[in-house]
């Protein structure tokens, strides 16, 4: 994993040591992690811009806002995720991949926060219904 830290590595490492709230974007392939203090970027599309990444590429990243207690996941599954056409399977794959990638990043940076999907993003789970074959938990 390649960690890109804003504004720079030394400053971000100091924020990590103080357990400052962070904004993190993890590429879907799990290879790149963009990270800054929340107050330095405010929004994920701004975070991408800090690294010269097109803001329209926002849907290529798992996005979280994290503090030492909670990691709020902006759960937005793109309709073309991994080319999976079945919506239930696509959302399940997105969930499983995201949990894996986000958990790894949180452990790497020493934030053992609970991953939470805020209510406003849970609409995707309603599409899964009660069929436990697809439920991502």
Q: Which residue has tokens 């904004």?
A: 23
Q: pLDDT tier at 127 (50, 70, 90 boundaries)?
A: low
Q: Which two tokens stand for residue 3?
A: 């960690």
1/134 Cα distance (integer angstroms): 29
Residue 59 · residue 76 · CB < 8 Å = yes
Q: What pLDDT is stored for residue 27 in this prediction?
A: 98
| Residues 3-47 pLDDT 10s | 999 999 999 999 999 999 999 999 999 999 999 999 999 999 999
- DSSP classification of residue 19: T
| ∠ Cα 119 59 131 (to 5°) | 50
Q: What pLDDT is stored for residue 42 in this prediction?
A: 95
Instruction: Enumerate the domain spans of the chain.
Output: 2-78+99-118
Tell me the pTM.
Answer: 0.89
pLDDT higher than 70, residue 134: no
pLDDT higher than 90, residue 123: no
């Amino acid at each position: 994993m390649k960690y890109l830290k804003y504004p720079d590595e030394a400053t971000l490492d100091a924020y990590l040591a103080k357990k400052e709230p962070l904004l993190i974007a993890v590429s879907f392939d799990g290879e790149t992690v963009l990270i800054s203090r929340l107050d330095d970027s405010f929004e994920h599309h701004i975070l991408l811009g800090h690294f010269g990444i097109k803001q329209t590429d926002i849907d290529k990243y798992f996005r979280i806002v994290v503090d030492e207690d909670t990691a709020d996941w902006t759960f937005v599954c793109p309709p073309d995720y991994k080319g999976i056409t079945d919506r239930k399977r696509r959302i399940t794959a997105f969930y499983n991949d995201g949990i894996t990638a986000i958990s790894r990043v949180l452990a790497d940076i020493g934030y053992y926060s609970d991953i939470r999907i805020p209510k406003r993003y849970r609409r995707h789970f309603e599409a899964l219904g009660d069929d436990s074959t697809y439920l991502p938990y």
